[in-house]
């Protein structure tokens, strides 16, 4: 129940909506119990006395009661929908805000499809417990209590027989509640299916290129079948529970007919009272049935809420709150001192690394794949927190600097340039929301992107598609460089920014990078010699450790790993 009570905490923000909804529900419930008494009056007074005037009055009274009930129901539904959407918005907003505060290491171990399922589907299931659960649950309980009182006023003995099945209904509900693991299995299976679907849509080109359609269809069908089997197990339990509870409730009607008929034979109850009692009994067991439905909803909602709160309870990325501000402008001196880091698997990704960069200096990081180059610059941005040692910017430990201040001083052009689904302009303004049209075009010129953007159908307002799919690799990289220029950072990180492009595109990108790196402290990662030859200093990494350092000429002269890389990977680029 702790999870359920925690879910209810989201209702506190809207006391007026909650109160109005409950008032409509309460008054509507009271109006619903008018009709059985009207039926009694018609059968016991109007009909025996042949009073047509009373019949008309009682009929109008019943009509007004039903009209009032349904009018209030209409208002309640409108209020409920408004209440519901506000709460869903709040939960999703909290969830998305939390996702932005989580460290990258958290995302490394979770499929995107699973996260999307929690935000899109689990929140909706959780919300049903909040709104429908409270409203239907309280209204049902109110109706049960009100009708019970009326039945005991009519005939206490018969009312006692009428509620005999109630303890058995309660026991059945408790047994059904114990099946909540079935709902967890459904949520988990659905997440796994959505994760696979997201993965396959993102990799649709590879699936087609390697003719994997049949294989992936089998994988998807297997995941979908897991959802089907989990859902059927849940529905099987419901198929036993719901009819069983309905049968037990029906026993109450049988007892009333039997004992009530006997009382009528003895002259202790009139036909009108028997009719009214049966109508009240219907109003008694109808909300009991709703409580059974609510129990099913509660189990599904609780399973969904557990998954949502698992994210909300995750530990925030350290250093988001507080920390000092970097002085402006910064000099750009960067120093790594005996830095160590591992991804949590026990293997050191970075081991006792020492390096430094003076203001305006270009540092090249070279090494075989998996040497730790990208990890090293990710530590500078604090995407990951190093385990020991120090990283300093202008002699200030970066762990004492607020992440917002730190990252605002760093420009990052990644190996796989990421563009958001929007226009070229939207993607450029990410770096500087206040940039003018002239500043945007100037950045594009420096990044050698001016000409191709001008030729696009709508220029800056051309849609680039999801992940920039409508642009080539080289075009995306040049837009990313222009974005970094608009940010105008004193420290620049370039992660293999000229990889996977043709020679002419590389030339354009290389020119853009040279302009971008001017008067900035730059860390450049590349497997191509042309990218690192002009660096002020080169660090060679292998297995997370700096094994060589120096200038290009010096590293070639010592015939170490760097020279070996030049003879193999870089051979085609040597003059």
Angle between helices 34-41 and 52-101 (to 10 degrees): 170
Report the side by side order of strands in the sheet with 410-413. Answer: 410-413, 491-495, 521-525, 362-366, 537-542, 545-550
The answer to whether 256 and 155 have CB atoms below 8 angstroms apart is no
Contacts of 280 (CB under 8 A, 6+ apart): 33, 36, 147, 150, 151, 154
Containing H/E element for 509?
A: helix 503-517
Rounded to whole angstroms, the Cα distance separating 438 from 432 reads 13
What is the residue whose two structure tokens read 């490394």? 108
27: CB partners within 8 A, 6+ apart? 68, 72
Structure tokens belonging to residue 199: 């993965």
CA angle at 148 for the pair 144 and 151, rounded to the nearest 5°: 140
151 vs 155: CA distance, rounded Å: 6
Q: What's the CA gap between 495 and 474, in Å, rounded?
A: 14
The predicted pLDDT at position 497 comes to: 55
Q: How far apart are CA 481 and CA 442, in angstroms?
A: 12
Instruction: Collect all residues with Cβ–Cβ distance below 8 Å to 402 and sequence separation of at least 6.
Output: 319, 322, 323, 324, 325
Which pLDDT value is given to residue 501?
Answer: 60
User: What is the number of other CB atoms lying within 10 angstroms of the CB of residue 247?
Assistant: 10
Strands 521-525 and 491-495: parallel
- Which residues are within 8 A (CB) of 237 and not within 5 positions of it... i.e. 6 or more apart? 176, 179, 182
Question: Of the candidates 294, 303, 300, 292, which has an alpha carbon nearest to the alpha carbon of residue 3?
Answer: 303
**β-pair partners for 365:** 525, 539
Residue 546: which of 364, 342, 347 has the closest Cα? 364
**Strand, helix or coil for residue 293:** helix
- Which ranges of 129-179 does DSSP label H, i.e. alpha helix? 134-154, 156-162, 166-177
> What is the four-CA torsion angle of 28, 30, 31, 36, rounded to 10 degrees?
140
Rounded to whole angstroms, the Cα distance separating 478 from 473 reads 9
Please state whether the peptide bond connecting residue 114 to the residue before it is cis, i.e. omega within 30 degrees of 0.
no
Mind listing the pLDDT tens digit of every residue in the chain (575 residues)? 676 677 777 778 888 888 888 888 888 878 887 888 788 778 777 777 778 878 888 889 889 988 998 898 889 888 888 888 888 888 889 999 999 888 888 888 788 888 888 888 888 877 777 666 666 777 788 888 888 888 888 888 888 888 888 888 888 877 777 666 788 888 889 888 988 888 888 778 778 877 888 888 999 999 999 999 998 988 888 888 888 888 888 888 888 888 888 887 887 877 777 888 888 888 888 888 777 777 777 777 778 888 888 899 998 887 777 788 888 888 899 999 999 999 877 778 999 999 999 999 999 999 888 888 989 999 999 989 999 999 999 999 999 998 888 988 898 888 777 888 889 999 999 888 888 999 999 889 888 888 899 999 899 999 998 888 888 888 888 898 888 888 888 998 887 655 556 667 667 777 777 777 788 899 988 766 767 777 889 999 999 999 999 998 899 899 899 888 888 765 345 44
CB atoms under 10 Å from CB of 436, counted, come to 9
Chain centre to alpha carbon of residue 404: 23
Residue listed under structure tokens 């059927």: 232
Structure tokens at 42: 């018609």
Q: Which of 416, 435, 426, 430 is nearest to 463 (CA)?
A: 426
pTM: 0.74
pLDDT at 30: 82
d(CA 494, CA 411): 8
Locus of tokens 């026990």: 346
């Amino acid at each position: 129940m702790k999870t359920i009570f925690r879910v209810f905490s989201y209702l506190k923000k809207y006391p007026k909506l909650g109160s109005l909804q409950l008032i409509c529900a309460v008054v509507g419930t009271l109006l619903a119990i008018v009709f059985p008494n009207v039926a009694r009056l018609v059968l016991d007074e109007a009909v025996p006395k042949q009073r047509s005037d009373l019949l008309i009055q009682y009929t109008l009274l019943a009509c007004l009661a039903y009209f009032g009930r349904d009018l209030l129901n209409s208002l309640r539904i409108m209020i409920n929908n408004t209440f519901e959407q506000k709460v869903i918005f709040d939960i999703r907003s909290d969830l998305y805000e939390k996702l932005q505060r989580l460290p990258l290491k958290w995302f490394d171990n979770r499929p995107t499809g699973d996260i999307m399922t929690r935000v899109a589907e689990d929140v909706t299931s959780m919300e049903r417990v909040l709104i429908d659960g409270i409203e239907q649950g309280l209204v049902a309980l109110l109706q049960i209590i009100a009708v019970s009182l009326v039945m005991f006023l009519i005939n206490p003995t018969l009312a006692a027989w009428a509620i005999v099945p109630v303890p058995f209904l309660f026991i059945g509900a408790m047994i059904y509640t114990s099946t909540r693991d079935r709902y967890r299995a459904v949520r988990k299976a659905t997440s796994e299916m959505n994760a696979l679907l997201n993965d396959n849509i993102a990799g649709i080109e590879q699936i087609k290129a390697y003719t994997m359609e049949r294989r992936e269809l089998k994988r998807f069908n297997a995941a979908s079948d897991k959802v089907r089997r989990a859902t059927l197990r849940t529905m099987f339990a419901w198929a036993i529970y719901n009819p069983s509870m309905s049968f037990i409730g029906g026993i109450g009607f049988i007892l009333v007919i039997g004992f009530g008929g006997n009382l009528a034979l003895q002259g202790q109850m009139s036909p009108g009272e028997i009719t009214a009692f049966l109508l009240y009994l219907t109003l008694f067991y109808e909300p009991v049935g709703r409580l059974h439905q609510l129990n099913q909803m509660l189990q599904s909602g609780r399973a969904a809420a557990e998954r949502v709160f698992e994210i909300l309870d995750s530990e925030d990325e350290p250093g988001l709150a507080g920390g000092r501000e970097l002085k402006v402008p910064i000099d750009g001196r960067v120093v790594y001192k005996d830095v160590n880091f591992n991804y949590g698997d026990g293997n050191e990704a970075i081991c006792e690394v020492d390096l430094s960069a003076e203001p305006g200096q270009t540092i090249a990081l070279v090494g075989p794949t998996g040497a730790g180059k990208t990890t090293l610059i990710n530590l500078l941005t604090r995407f990951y927190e190093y385990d020991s040692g120090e990283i300093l910017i202008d002699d200030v430990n970066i762990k004492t600097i607020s992440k917002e201040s730190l990252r605002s001083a760093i420009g990052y052009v990644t190996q796989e340039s990421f563009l958001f689904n929007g226009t070229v302009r939207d993607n450029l303004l990410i770096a500087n929301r206040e940039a003018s049209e002239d500043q945007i075009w100037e950045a594009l010129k420096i990044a050698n992107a001016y000409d191709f953007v001008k030729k696009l159908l709508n220029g800056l307002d051309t849609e680039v598609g999801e992940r920039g799919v409508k642009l080539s690799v080289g075009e995306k990289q040049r837009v990313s460089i222009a974005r970094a220029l608009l940010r105008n950072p004193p420290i620049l990180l370039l992660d293999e920014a000229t990889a996977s492009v043709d020679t002419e595109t590389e030339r354009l990108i290389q020119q853009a990078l040279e302009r971008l790196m001017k008067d900035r402290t730059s860390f450049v990662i590349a497997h191509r010699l042309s990218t690192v030859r002009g660096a002020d200093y080169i660090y060679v990494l292998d297995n997370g450790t700096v094994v060589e350092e120096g200038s290009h000429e010096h590293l070639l002269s010592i015939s170490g790993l760097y020279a070996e890389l030049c003879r193999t990977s870089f051979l085609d680029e040597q003059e």
